[in-house]
A and B are shown apart, each in its own frame.
Chain A
């Protein structure tokens, strides 16, 4: 029954996604997805809260840069303490780098000490394509009213070198500060950097 409902939901939502686009200050594309722990969540569920989307692929060297250094985890913890919802999204297609099942996704986070609110499994790449997500990591910040506040890189230095994290301008952190104080995000759209998302081709 739930399966039926879920597929019906998916059937309804997919066409809606196809023509949406993630533009700053426009409503962020709606989505419904299955999480790593088997729940179904929608963006609409988080209305009234700031939401961060983080596209990830645990084997990508640029993702490793930010998890290996603890940068991503500390940003997730800081967000959680401010009531910000942090959603990891895995859009790798089956058979591609970074594709994992729910249990593996949860274990990876436990091992890394990562604390996202939830991990969304998007093996068909529907959410990824709706947002135009290109890289891992690729970051989006959505305001409590559902509009997109920020999209782009996690920071300003497009390298895989951990030593650069300290020197980089932390775009996502800056965006979250601006959103929480109701200001406009200074750099609202930046170049995302990282590995290409391994969509089905």
Chain B
């Protein structure tokens, strides 16, 4: 009897606290308030339901993900009185602690767990699971904390959802799901390369589930291409053996917003060795996964910036010659208001067409950027012909639409309007390679927006370009600033031909980069043909035959473009042995070696780029500063379309060149330099005070 009673009595004693005193569902430590939230208010025997552990973390402190990264410790829950599934973790974020990288959470993460009510639980009784929860919470220092939480739910034959069911579902939305697309993996020199089909990815980061599978602190190089993305992931201290699963969460910043997916791929054979032990000399991973996109301008500020950018375009060397023609027109008598409107219409129509082409290309999945049309040598040739024709016209060889000669008659007025419209088109066409400082951000914003917004930004840009002339046309007071008409006008007009010829020289130089000597020879032949045809017409007194010859010669010149072929990409050393061609791999390599790197994204059709190179980057004092600080100089040539460079521009919130980046040794991110450089500015950027991180 007593031998039977004693164990039963002891058991009852042990069970009593469990039955009577469930731990509270909430508890707070110094840095975290934690609570358990159940999906159900009443549970049924054998039922599975979801419980969340919500951590309300003191601001600037963080707790850890499943793989905490270089240091730290994942939150753990030891359950009693229930069968519990594994923790389902929301998407973590990167927490950089000096040169170390941790994976975890700030704010209010909710970890989900599936609990199972014992099958033999009695309806009418209570289900009281207990949870011993431990976490490490860190800011610059780390505190291990521990709380005991519990639930106390009535058991009934029928389960009933609780008031927090919706909240649980919302939290469940933050848990990454298996990727709905296939992720490919292949061996890479320093680890593995993942790739997927998502288009327009501007940022990506892979969180490996196990410690050491990837080098947590090493940057992961993203390449966004037309067909999707690739991400180079340096291996860590404990790489996954070949054939075993490499599992984790991939986060992607897409045009539609941030995405996070769980993936598991079989580790390929021959994966490269990573940077070894925590690569503390390497720059910290430049990954802010689901954060706001970089070009996060609002629509209004993008419109304002586009307008300002358009205004500034008027002063750019490529637009100025065209503009001077227009200024010339204003000093004559005539219907200035109508001309101003026609000019504005021409500019706006051109920008609308441009936006339309961009939208169409983007819809087709192409990676496009501003100035893309100059990637085409045929387009460059056409603009060269066009400017040459304008130049010849200014020189007096022929008259475009009578806009410079016949004044007063109704016909000439109409032709004048057509001329104004045409000038507007011309201004817009030649303006494109000049990305004014404010325009970069606005255009990058536009390119990532729906078609209507994109169109609005482009039209604002066009309006900016047209605005000075529009004001002159509508505001007679301003016209008084212009000189009086007279015989000098003819000489002035002829003088203006020379900026046009200079622009042709520049375009031929661009063409030389794109097509080599053969292309230049063809283009020059075309120019000679055009000049010959127009001279024939001129000397024959503009006879019908002469006009025919002129037209035929222009058509023939245009026909030459059939033979224009882009030559293969080459490394343009720009006469400087210390310049290297840009590649993402080379950049990562140099940064891993803790070398300061200056990146210059340029194109030969980009005048501002060339001006910057001339007045700042190729100055002896700048070169000396580079040499002294041991700065590696990488130059990316966007003269021809290059998706790798387009991706870099995008990643820095730009859609066009120039883009100047300076990576200080060990710096987490690049410093973006302004689009107009001075030697002092560059020297200051690369000089030591900002350089060695360990000395600060």
Which residues does chain B contribute within 8 Å of A189, judged by CB atoms? 237-238
Q: Is there contact, CB below 8 Å, between A97 and B141?
A: yes
CB-defined interface of A13-54 with B at 8 Å, one 1/0 digit per residue?
000001101110000000000000000000000000000000
Q: Which of B208-232 contact A (CB under 8 A)?
A: 211-212
Stretch at the interface among B175-183, B271-279, B578-586: B271-279
User: Which bracket fits the contact residues of A?
Assistant: 35 or more
B305 contacts partner chain A, Cβ-Cβ < 8 Å: no
In this assembly, does A195 line the interface, its C-beta being within 8 Å of a C-beta of chain B? yes
A201 within 8 A of B: yes
Q: Which residue of A lies closest to B144 (CB)?
A: A160
Assess the A132–B276 pair: CB atoms within 8 A: yes
Cβ-based interface call for B70 (8 A): yes
Which of A125, A151, A158, A196 has most chain B Cβ within 10 Å? A196
Whether B140 contacts A134 by the Cβ 8 Å rule is: no
Q: Mark A164-201, 1 if CB is under 8 A from B, else 0.
A: 00000000000000000000000001011111111111
Q: Are B97 and A201 in contact (CB under 8 A)?
A: yes
Query: Main SS of chain B's interface residues?
Result: loop
Tell me if B276 and A200 are in contact (CB < 8 A): no
> Which A108-162 residues sit within 8 Å CB-CB of chain B?
124-126, 128-129, 131-135, 151, 158-161
Q: Distance in Å from the Cβ of A158 to the closest Cβ of chain B?
A: 6
B142 within 8 Å of A by Cβ? yes
Known: A128-B280, A134-B71, A196-B98. A160 touches B212 (CB 8 A): no
Chain A residues within 8 Å of B278, by CB = 132-134
Residue of B nearest to A97 (CB): B141
Q: Is A59 an interface residue (CB 8 A)?
A: yes
**CA A121 to CA B35, docked complex, whole Å:** 43
A96 close to chain B: CB less than 8 A? yes
How many angstroms between the C-alpha atoms of A197 and B593 in the bound complex?
A: 21
Size class of B's contact patch? 35 or more
Q: Which residues of chain A are near B212, meaning CB under 8 Å? A: 191
Which has the most chain A C-beta neighbours within 10 Å: B144, B211, B594? B144
Contacts of B280 in A (CB 8 A): 125, 128-129, 132-134, 199
The residue that A23 contacts in the complex, of B73, B134, B144, B277, with Cβ under 8 A, is B277
Does the CB pair A97–B140 fall under 8 Å?
yes
A22 and B276 contacting across the interface, CB-CB below 8 Å? yes
Q: Are B98 and A195 in contact (CB under 8 A)?
A: no
At the interface, yes or no: A70 with Cβ under 8 Å from chain B?
no
Chain B residues with Cβ below 8 Å from A102 are none
Bound: A40/B134 CA distance, A: 42
A193 touches B594 (CB 8 A): no
Option from A18, A133, A160, A197 in Cβ contact (under 8 Å) with B136: A160
Q: Which of B72-112 contact A (CB under 8 A)?
A: 72-73, 96-100, 102
Contact A125/B211 with A196-B71, A198-B98, A199-B99 known, Cβ cut-off 8 Å: no
* In the bound complex, CA of A62 to CA of B98 (Å): 19
Partner of A126, one of B100, B238, B694: B694
Give per-residue flags for B679-696: 1 if the beta carbon is below 8 A from chain A beta carbons, else 0. Answer: 000000000000001111
Is B588 located at the chain interface by the 8 A CB criterion? no
Query: At the interface, yes or no: B138 with Cβ under 8 Å from chain A?
Result: yes
Contacts of A133 in B (CB 8 A): 278, 280
Select A135's contact among B71, B143, B276, B696, beta carbons within 8 Å.
B71
B contact residues around A97 at 8 Å (CB): 140-141
Residue ID in chain B nearest A131 by CB atoms: B277
B493-548: which residues lie under 8 A (CB-CB) from chain A? none
Known contacts A131-B277, A191-B212, A196 near B696 by CB under 8 Å: no
**Pairs A–B under 8 Å by Cβ, sample size 13:** A18-B281, A60-B141, A60-B142, A61-B144, A125-B694, A132-B279, A133-B278, A134-B100, A135-B70, A192-B71, A196-B142, A198-B140, A199-B99
CB-based closest 9 A-B pairs: A132-B277, A201-B98, A160-B144, A196-B71, A199-B98, A21-B276, A129-B280, A132-B278, A195-B142
Q: A18-B281, A134-B71, A161-B144 are known contacts; what are 20 more A-B pairs with Cβ within 8 Å?
A: A19-B593, A22-B276, A62-B142, A97-B140, A124-B694, A124-B695, A126-B694, A134-B100, A135-B70, A151-B277, A159-B134, A189-B238, A192-B71, A194-B71, A195-B142, A196-B70, A196-B142, A198-B141, A201-B99, A201-B693
- Measured CB to CB, the residues of B under 8 A from A are 70-73, 96-100, 102, 134, 136, 138, 140-144, 211-212, 237-238, 275-281, 593-594, 693-696
